[in-house]
Amino acid sequence: MERKKKQIQAGKIRRVFHSFRYTECDAFAEYLHEMSLDGWHFKKWQMGLLFEKGEPTDITYCVEVFPKGSEMDLKPERQAVEYADYCEVAGWELIDGQRKFCIFRRMDSDAPPIVTEEERFANVRKAEWRQLAFDLFVPLLLTAEFWIRALGSEFSDWIFFPPYLWILLVVTLMAAGWLLQFGRTILWSVRGKRALREGRPVAYERQPFRRVMEWILVILLEVGVIALFACVGMPKAGLVLAGSLLVLLAFAAVVLWFRPSRETNWWVQVGGGAILVFLMIMVVTAVAFTENGPAENRKALARLPLTQADYCEMKGEPDHAEYSYQKSFFGSRLQGTVIWPNEELEENELSYNVYRSEYAWVLHKIWETETDTMYYKGTKETDPRPWKALEVRRNKNGIATCARYEDALLFLYADTPPAADQIELTLETLNLLKDTN
Angle at 366 between CA 360 and CA 370, to 5 degrees: 150
Strand partners, 41: 52
The predicted pLDDT at position 6 comes to 47
Q: Which of 372, 408, 401, 371 is nearest to 386 (CA)?
A: 401
* Cβ–Cβ < 8 Å for 83, 75: no
Per-residue burial over 5-32, b = 16 or more CB atoms within 10 Å of its CB, e = otherwise: eeeeeeeeebeeeeebbbbbbbbbbbbb
Q: Which of 348, 303, 341, 346 is nearest to 322 (CA)?
A: 303
Q: What is the DSSP letter of 437?
A: -
> How far is CA 242 from its chain centroid?
13
Q: Which of 330, 411, 402, 341 is nearest to 150 (CA)?
A: 330
pTM equals 0.75
pLDDT tens, position by position, for the chain (437 residues)?
444 444 445 568 999 988 899 999 999 999 999 999 999 999 999 989 999 999 999 999 999 999 999 989 999 999 989 888 888 888 999 999 999 999 999 998 888 888 899 999 999 999 999 998 888 888 888 889 999 999 988 899 899 988 888 888 888 888 888 888 888 899 999 999 999 999 999 999 887 766 666 677 667 666 666 666 555 555 555 566 666 667 777 888 888 888 888 888 888 888 877 777 776 677 666 655 555 566 777 888 889 998 888 888 877 788 888 898 999 899 999 999 999 886 665 678 899 999 999 999 999 999 999 888 888 888 889 889 999 999 999 987 778 999 999 999 999 998 888 888 889 899 999 998 864 44
Distance CA 107, CA 223 (A): 48
The predicted pLDDT at position 229 comes to 56
If 0-12 CB within 10 Å is exposed, 13-18 middle and 19+ buried, where does residue 192 land? Answer: buried
Distance CA 332, CA 349 (A): 23
The terminus-to-terminus CA distance of the chain in angstroms comes to 86
Distance CA 125, CA 102 (A): 16
Distance CA 301, CA 289 (A): 18
Q: Is 170 helix (H, G, I), strand (E, B) or coil?
A: helix
Strand partners, 333: 326, 355
The predicted pLDDT at position 190 comes to 95
The predicted pLDDT at position 181 comes to 86
